[in-house]
Every structure is written in C-alpha cells, then in structure tokens.
Amino acid sequence: MILKHFIPFALIIMVICMSCSSATSEPATWGDDMTYSYLDEKDRDTKAAMKVVKTSLNSRQRFYEREKIGNLAFFEVVTSAPPGVNDVDATSHYVGVILGKKPRLVSLPDKALFVHFAKNIRSNPDVLEFRARIRTAMLLATGSARFVEKLPPTWVDEDGTLIIHYHKLFYGGGRESPTREECTLTVDANQDFTLECAKPVYLEDHLY
C-alpha cells in the first residue's frame, strides 16, 4: 500500500525537478530595463560575467569591465600584437554579457540586441543620458563606441525615422595617425538600420 502511494509522489517530484532544471538552464535574455550603471567587479553578477568573458579569450587578450544597460554588461577586449612584432598596435573590440542565472556571451555588433534597444529607448530616450545612449547604439550596431568628442554626435528622431550622426575614430597600426570617419546611422520605424560612412580622413591633432 505504501509503495502505491510513493510511486505517484516520486513522479511528481521528478517532474518538478525537471522543470526547475530546465528553467535554470535557459540562457539569459536582455530585459526592458534601460537604466545605465557602471560594472562593479565585486558584484556577484559581474563576477559571473567576467568568468564568461575570460574563458573566451586567448593568451594575447585581456579585458576590462565597462558599463551595463539593465542586465546587459559591456566589456572591452584588448588584443596585443604578436610577440616580436613592433609595427602593429594592440587592437580592441567589445563583447556583451547578458546577466542572469546562465550568463550569455554575445559578440558585437548584434542586430537583434540593437532592435531590442531601439524599441525600448525610442519611446523614452531620456531614460539614458545622451552620451550613454549614443555609445550603446554604436556598440550594438557597429561594435565600436569611439567617437570624436570635439565633434559632438546628434540624435534626431522625427516622423518615424531616427538619425544618429557622429564622427568615428579609427587607429591604424604602428605610427599611423588616427583617422576620422563621418557616419550616419539611420533607423526606420521597424528598427531596421543602415550605416553610411564617408571616406576616412586623417584626424587633426586638436580634434582628438
């Protein structure tokens, strides 16, 4: 008699445990919170994200925690030149980690994340300080956030079309001077975007 009651109960427990396991194994997703904050390396979520980034690097790479928008954290990855190569500078790129029970590493740029960002921020742009808003849009759409501070970017959203205009910095290898590209990111009402950049020009010293 005891065995008859025990078997159904055991099955119920098994189903519940399987459900819990399935829920925790789902990769984290980016929520609708668009608030900005700096990453704190002592924070538990930040530590988990740092571990995810670290396991993706090779021996010539190091990373730095930057900022986060909601539960999407940004990290800058710096790749040093190969040993013995003197005329090549280190390069850098950004990656994102979506924080949660199972943090998920994302390469940037990422179109799906940009669409999610645009849907949320265009209805209430002032939730993000202007510079953070521009940087986030650039990171998600282009993978870079270097713009010329002395040539301020613009954000104009009218009649269903968002136009982000900025000047991008690009550093060449070795002793090459940095160059500047004038770029326009155009986003339609469906969050589809196009990026157009003019021919790069050498950047004058007083503009960087």
Find the largest Cα–Cα distance for the chain. Answer: 88
What residues in the chain have per-residue pLDDT under 50? 2-3, 6-7, 9-23, 206, 208
Q: Supply the pLDDT for residue 6.
A: 44
Give φ, ψ of 34 to 5 degrees: -110, 20
Q: Supply the pLDDT for residue 24.
A: 54
- Tell me whether residue 151 is exposed, middle or buried, using C-beta atoms within 10 angstroms of its C-beta: 0 to 12, 13 to 18, 19 or more: middle
Cα–Cα distance between 28 and 24 in angstroms, integer? Answer: 9
Locate 14 and state its tokens.
């098994």
**Structure letter (DSSP) for residue 157:** E
| Residue in the structure block whose two tokens are 């290898």 | 173
Q: Supply the pLDDT for residue 148.
A: 85
Q: Is the pTM of this model over 0.85?
A: no
Residues paired with 194 in a beta bridge:
186
One-letter amino acid of 136 = T
Q: Supply the pLDDT for residue 205.
A: 54
Give φ, ψ of 182 to 5 degrees: -90, 120
Locate 161 and state its tokens.
């079309």
